Structure 1
Amino acid sequence: MSEIIAMSVLGGLIVFVLCAFPGNDSVAAGMDMAPQFGMVVLEHIGWGFGVYVPILLSFYAIVIGGQLVADSTTAASTRRMFGFAAEAMAGALVPALVLIVAACVADPMQVGSLFVIVPVSAVVFFLAIQLGGFIVFERSLRLSAAERARDWAKEHLGALKPRSRKPIWFVVVAHAVVGGAGGLGITLLLDRPSGSLLMLFLLYGSVALGLGLASVNGLFTYRTTQDRLYTVTAWIICSTLYLVGLLLALEAFVRIGPAAGLGVLSSVVLSLISTFWPRHRASRFVLDWSLHGAATRYAARSITTRYVRNVRVIRELVQSPEPDQPISLQDRIMVVFRPVRGDTSAPHGDSCTCRRTFDRSHGHCDAHTFESEDINSGSAV
């Protein structure tokens, strides 16, 4: 899911740059071209969906086939690779959908197209999210994987202190507001812009918001994933967004003026400082409101939940009286449709599958054996 968000932010920021500065001196005039871009997208979205859906279904077939005939290592690698590709494809589709909505707002006659586009888009996102979420191995392999995940979580949680005490969404929104206000303040100090102050504030705030989300995603992925591919990809996307931010600052410097360029640059610099400021040298105020502190808090909650979930999985597998039998073909196929039916039980009554979610109401006893403050105290995490 984080890959979809990251790709959406990257694509959205690129579209914003293309709309804002297509040779116009006014940001507002440039943004007026978004509906025109949306009309062009409407002409091509049909064949785009015609390509997306068959590809995602073929990914499903490959992943299911890998679980049926390949060994566990190959099946897991295949699922990760195609799951990541599917989520990246879905995220790349978001900017096109935003432009279509802009076209429909400008021309109400096009609203009817949404009755086709929205359901098909929902299918694409459903397939992409579910694709990376199911994989079933034999009982001994699941037990070994759960033990490794538990030990990894226990080892890494201690490194995530100190951290923010504020909700991550609140920190990101505040970061965007401060970035917008700071950029606007610098612009007003250096020059008196002829355009709309609100549009400039939205421009600076959008840059800060996009970079903030990318930074949080990169930090969170770095702290929580055991897969090098996801870590490298998250930082590549984050670095690309910062490069886009610098190019946007240069474009604003040339097209609008030095004051606007420095305003955009201030949002980029603010995001960099908030992302990389050392947590151990930060005051409590900075720690609570920095992107680094907020992402660390988010990562700590995720790792703690992962630990509790894997402890429960290990307990249930150890206490299960059933022998270590290979999973049947029927059970492997049925696990694909289990998320659709909302059934989280595993084959043969075993309640442990890799898609099983953590029930917080049953997590308190395991949390006390690990680190109770991370589960039971919202302010601590």
Structure 2
Amino acid sequence: MSKTLVVTNDFPPRPGGIQAFVHNLARLRPPGSVVVYAPAWRGAAEFDAGQPFPVVRHPTSLMLPEPTVLRRAGDVLRAEGCDSVLFGAAAPLGLLAPALRRAGAGRLVGLTHGHESGWAALPVARGLLRRIGDGLDVLTYLGEYTRSRMARALSPAATGRMARLAPGVDEKLFRAGAGGAEIRRRYGLAGRPVVVCVSRLVPRKGQDALIHAWPRVLRAVPDAALLLVGGGPYRAELERLAAPLAGSVVITGGVPWEELPAHYDAGDVFAMPCRTRRRGLDVEGLGIVYLEASATGLPVVAGDSGGAPDAVLDGETGLVVDGRRVNPLADALVGLLRDPGRAKEMGARGRAWVEREWRWEIQADRLATLLEP
């Protein structure tokens, strides 16, 4: 049986979307076919003990493409009999690919996310990304936006070896009836139309635009409520903006991961009007939250930043808006809140799309194909 070494800075118990992406791909590999090499993190020993594969921890919390990491990765590769390597994020650890090929890896695949698109726009990083692409057999991309951005930095040969691989959705967890009624009771939202946003509280995600749009929404739907789920550095500013709307805007702060499906299920419409910032360096790579909302049966309102539109069938599973313009955002929200039939149809099409294209098992099968020589 072939065996894959996953070399990654991004792995639980450290929280985050990339960490969940890499972990789910690893856990869905056949038994005995994967070993993970990742940094140390608080709670790692307890987490690793519950995994169906071995996890080797680097002694520090960050791994860079330098000799110590290369030596340890090579040692694990040989000791475990691995014949392929999967880099959890191609930048920067994919720079180790040529040396690991010399150490015995026959197939090297690098996952990309959002930050590699930013690398493609910076002169020095652009050259490093080109080196990474040339050293790998496959460089993955999330969607057309990230593919086109990275292709500008890659050699023609590396561009020809690119393949799509995106995060999946657990459609058994994210579903209608996942506990939303209890969440509505918890926050005093029972019986009200609810727009929900589940995301880290940072400026790019656009929660402030939702708050700025909310007075216009309330003029059309007076009992509507906005539920902002998540924590992050922008929380204090969002609370300041929402203060005049007390009773109509709820900011939950961070919630346990196991409660996220119920928080999605508490909404009638999902909205995250993300927008690109810092001249394209701060951009949405995909937006898995849109797909989790679709799996829950909600219509989605997405911003047009980066690859976010790749997670929405505009006009079918939801609407894509300019995250920098408040009035069109408010109009989209009002339109869905005042037409529950249309919203329900969009949610149903979104659920079907997730089941057809975005389940974790589908992504795992795609990875298996990419790892084949």
TM norm structure 2? 0.24
Q: Which structure would you say has the larger RCO, counting Cα contacts within 8 Å and 6 or more residues apart?
A: 1
TM norm structure 1? 0.23
Structure richer in helix, relative to its length: 1
Structure richer in strand, relative to its length: 2
